[in-house]
Structure 1
Amino acid sequence: GLTASAHLSIGVRGPAGPVARAVAAMPEAPFVTLTAGGYAVMAELRTKGIADLDRAIERVRCLPGVDVVDPLISTRHLKDPYLLAGEPAVTELDETDQLVLRELEADGRLPFAELAERVGLSAGAARARTLRLLDGGVAKVLALVRPELLGLGILCGFAVRVEGERDEVAARLAEREQVSFLSSCMGRADLVGTITVESLAAIRTAVEDMRAVKGVRAVESWVHLELVKERYEDPAAE
């Protein structure tokens, strides 16, 4: 049900830390960082519809210390390690499905017997429910890996303006291994994303390669200095 999302570039008056923590306290904000670049704080919002997204952005604008909010409204997520590709085969969830998802969200390694006890089903029924949700494209279970433990200790955000066919440029960028997230958007840029690399030199190389891609008109980039929050879940569960 989280159908609307946006990337926020947030300028601040005074220290950026308190602003970042205030944004991170919002259940609609799964991702918040302190950054080096034109803006001191970057955040992602995900909500149930554009109206909710508009209200969440306005709440950010009204936070103490916020000077300016420049939103990029996502139109389509093209590459995201935490989202499934395509439309789900299962489109209706009952109350028991919601319970199963919330328990798996808290601990994706739950044995079926324990899951069954928590949601009031037999072990077989809990297994069948879970497999239906996984196979039906509603959910997936994965590890949230710290990039620095893989030798990929630096995250660089980027916004791209495109000339010509946006989908063609997006496809060329999405196939790059360093690009870990990519979304089409509306606002000052046509695409927004993240590069995950091992060094500042690798960022320079990746950004230069991006500028050389046919159809790329301009690239804006920033370095994520501190990950304040990365927690993807249903805001209604907060």
Structure 2
Amino acid sequence: MPVRHDRGAPDRDTDGLDSSLVRALQADGRASIHELARTLGVSRDLVSRRLSTLIGRDGLRVVAALDPGFAGLNVLIHGLVEVDGPARPVAERIAGLPDTVFVSLVAGGASLVFESRHGDTDELGATLAAIREIPGVRRVRVTTYDGLLKEFITAASVTDVRLDRLDHDLIAILQDDGRASYRALADAVRLSPSSTRARVRRLLDAGVIRIAAIDAGGLSRNRVAVGVGIALRGAPEPVHRYLVDTRAVDLAAAAHGAYDVIATIVGTATAGVLAVIEELRALPGVGSLETWAHLDIIKEDYTRTLGRIVRP
């Protein structure tokens, strides 16, 4: 039987609940308070209060992200940047580039990591040239994603569908507030709530958008995040399968370049993250493994890609 958390529960008890709530919203960002309460085994009042706290205090966002391939972004990369001197000014410059969707200050061999998404290799080349010209940048190591094995912010598969202006308008609203009510959406686009619901459901079912929670800053007292770069020495399938099946893995991608696989492991404590890393090290297909701990996420914005469809 699920343990029910009451109003007087101490903060240490809410850490795990908050983490579970964020994960539930990553699975379904539009889940109702009733559905979330049933999933977590707690009262609706508690879910409502914890969600308000996470959004108000911790800056949690629930947003719609457009599938990168549907938006014409077919070149996805991960970069590690070594910096001479303070890394934050460099990270902020990289975060200001239009094609970067993720930038984080890290502990490890590199000073910061970034992820960027591009329409073609010319766009990628321009972004890398801009990064290398930033004062303080000593070295950039690039890994190109062959395919996303697992990512909470995009759908697992996409169906080819045609979008019209009303679809664009709905996506734009949901990119700001993925939990906007159907009534609010209907009023904004001048449709009936039932027609609006059907359009949003079509977008979600087709995989064009995914609505999920993103932690502002990505890190808190109840969230530890560690990046992992893996060089394989055998068949990739067992490693891929482990990453997809492991709940603590937020992102996993098959790749080529600096690494054959890249993943992000999250948890409520370092012990849980370390346990996953140790299990990875024990897999026969893992030749070498490099890690970097995320200390301060400067940018995490997967919603910007709608402009490539709405505007030339």
> What TM-score do you get using the length of structure 1 for normalisation?
0.89
Distance across 2 between alignment mates of 1:19 and 1:168: 37
1: CA distance between counterparts of 2:229 and 2:112? 15
Conserved 8 A contact 1:90-1:133: no
Shift of 1:182: 0.6
Q: Which residue of the partner structure matches residue 192 of structure 1? A: 262
Q: Which runs of 5+ in 2 are unaligned?
A: 1-70
| Aligned mate of 1:69, from 116, 140, 155 | 140
TM-aligned CA deviation for residue 138 of structure 1: 1.2
Structure 1 3/176 Cα, relative in aligned 2: closer, same or farther at 3 Å? same
Tell me, in whole angstroms, the C-alpha distance in 1 between the residues paired with 2:290 and 2:150: 19
Residue 110 to residue 153, structure 1, CA distance change in 2 (3 Å): closer
Residue 18 of structure 1 pairs with residue 83 of structure 2: no
CA contact (8 A) 2:233 2:285 kept: yes
Q: Does the CA-based 8 Å contact 1:90-1:137 persist in structure 2? A: no
Is 2:152–2:212's contact at 8 Å kept on the other side of the alignment? Answer: no
| Aligned-pair CA distance for 1:49 | 3.0
Look up the match of 2:304.
234
Give the counterpart of 2:120 among 49, 56, 66: 49
Which residue of the partner structure matches residue 143 of structure 1? 213
Alpha carbons 2:219, 2:296 under 8 Å: kept: no
Q: Does 1:181 align with 2:260?
A: no
Q: Is the 8 A contact 1:27 1:235 kept in 2?
A: no
Q: Letter of the aligned partner of 2:124 in structure 1?
A: L
Matched, 1:32 2:106: no
Describe the shift of the 1:201–1:116 C-alpha distance in structure 2 as closer, same or farther (beyond 3 A): closer
Other-structure match for 1:156? 226
Residue 152 of structure 1: how far off its partner (Å): 4.1
Paired position in structure 1 for 2:58:
none
> What's 1:168 paired with?
238
- TM-score scaled to structure 2, two decimals? 0.69
Residue range with higher mean Cα deviation, 197-206 or 104-113: 197-206
- The correspondence for 1:225, drawn from 292, 295, 298, is 295
Structure 1 residue identity aligned to 2:297 = L
Give the equivalent residue in structure 1 for 2:286: 216
| 1:34-59: CA deviation from partner (whole Å, max 9, x where unpaired) | 01111101011122233322322222
* Partner Cα separation in structure 2 for residue 16 and residue 194 of structure 1: 21
Q: Structure 1 stretches of 5 or more lacking a match? A: none
SS in 2 for 1:26: coil
C-alpha displacement of 1:116: 3.0
The code of the aligned residue for 2:260 comes to D
After superposition, the C-alpha distances for 1:172-209 in whole angstroms (9 at most, x for unaligned) are: 23222222211011102100111112334444333222
Please tell me whether the aligned partners of residues 228 and 290 of structure 2 are also in contact (alpha carbons under 8 angstroms): yes
Between structures 1 and 2, the one with greater helix share = 2
Are the aligned partners of 2:99 and 2:116 in contact in 1 as well (CA < 8 Å)? Answer: yes
- Residues 9 and 43 of structure 1 are in contact (CA less than 8 Å); yes or no, is this contact kept in structure 2? yes
Q: List 4+ stretches of structure 1 deviating above 6 A.
A: none
| Residue among 59, 74, 97 paired with 1:3 | 74
2:287 is aligned with 1:206: no
Separation (CA, whole Å) in 2 of partners of 1:78 and 1:176: 12
The corresponding residue for 1:108 is 178
Please report the RMSD computed on the Cα atoms of aligned residues, expressed in angstroms: 2.2
> Closer, same or farther in 2 for the Cα pair 1:131/1:204, shift >3 Å?
closer
Alignment CA distance shift 1:136-1:204 (3 Å): closer
Give the aligned partner of residue 125 of structure 1. Answer: 195
Structure 1 residues 207 and 66: CA distance shift in structure 2, 3 A: same
What is the rounded CA distance, in whole Å, between the counterparts of 2:239 and 2:219 in structure 1?
29
Deviation at 1:21, TM superposition (A): 0.8
